[in-house]
């Protein structure tokens, strides 16, 4: 109701952690994102999930998106922040326009 009262749109964005998006990762660690995505569908709220796209990018480019020392752990590094900004902006434009 708060969002509607401001004539706005509520959107959920799931972020990533390093282990989810390491280029050498072979395990599917996106169960939480799938659950949140299904919840969003059930209540008609858009959900932007970054982990699958981050993982694809990391594998394609053989690069880490977390950690400033190429560790793959910790906060997003410069490339991770850039990619997140691009992905979120693109998805928000699709949702809003």
Domain hosting residue 76, numbered range: 2-96
Count structural domains, the chain.
Answer: 1
Three-class HEC string of the chain? CHHHHCCCCCCEEECCCHHHHCCCCCCCCCHHHHHHHHHHHHCCCCEEECHHHHHHHHHHHCCCCECCCCCCCCCECHHHHHHHHHHHHHHHHHHHC
Global pTM value? 0.86
pLDDT of residue 5: 94
- Using alpha carbons only, what angle is made at residue 72 by residues 14 and 33, rounded to the nearest 5 degrees? 20
Beta-strand pair 12-14/47-49: parallel
List per-residue pLDDT tens for the chain, 97 residues long: 899 899 999 999 999 999 999 988 788 888 899 999 999 999 999 999 999 999 999 999 999 999 988 889 999 999 999 999 999 999 999 999 9
């Amino acid at each position: 109701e708060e969002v509607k009262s401001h004539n706005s749109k509520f959107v959920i964005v799931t972020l990533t952690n390093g282990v989810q998006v390491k280029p050498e990762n072979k395990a599917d660690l996106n169960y939480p994102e799938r659950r949140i995505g299904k919840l969003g569908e059930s209540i008609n709220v858009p959900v932007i999930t970054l982990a699958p796209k981050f993982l694809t990018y990391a594998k394609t480019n053989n690069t880490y998106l977390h950690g400033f020392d190429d560790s793959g752990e910790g906060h997003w590094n410069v490339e991770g922040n850039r990619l997140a900004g691009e992905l979120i902006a693109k998805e928000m434009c699709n949702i809003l326009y």
